[in-house]
Amino acid sequence: MDWWVVGLRLMGLGWYVAACIILGVLGGLGLDKLVGLTPLFTLLGTVLGSVLAFWGLYKMVRPVIYGSKGLNGTENGRKR
């Protein structure tokens, strides 16, 4: 695999993480403005966006870590 393909994939993962966190913060800021509880929803949005970002990142990177072998020790539905 060429270095630029790896670079593009990593950049895509970075954009995914950034988008999740930014959307969480912006959603929290919007709810804070709507409700009037200034730091509460911004902090909750930041935490929720971060958790979703890293959970999604793990789900995307998991096939690279484990290869084609599933988490339960099977490969393509068959026991080894």
Q: How many domains does the chain have?
A: 1
**Mean pLDDT score, 10-32:** 94
Greater confidence (25 vs 6) lies with: 25
Residue 62 domain-assigned (yes or no): yes
Q: Is the pTM of this model over 0.85?
A: no
Contact 23, 52 (CB under 8 A): no
* pLDDT higher than threshold 70 for residue 51: yes
* pLDDT higher than threshold 80 for residue 15: yes
* pLDDT higher than threshold 80 for residue 44: yes
Residue 75 domain-assigned (yes or no): no
Residue 53 domain-assigned (yes or no): yes
How far is 16 from 63, CA to CA, in rounded Å?
Answer: 17
How far is 36 from 78, CA to CA, in rounded Å?
Answer: 55
pLDDT of 29 reads 95
Residue 52 domain-assigned (yes or no): yes
Q: Which two tokens stand for residue 65?
A: 């870590």
Provide the residue range defining the domain that includes 48.
Answer: 36-66
Q: Which two tokens stand for residue 27?
A: 């959603």
Closest to 19 (Cα-Cα) out of 46, 60, 53, 47: 53
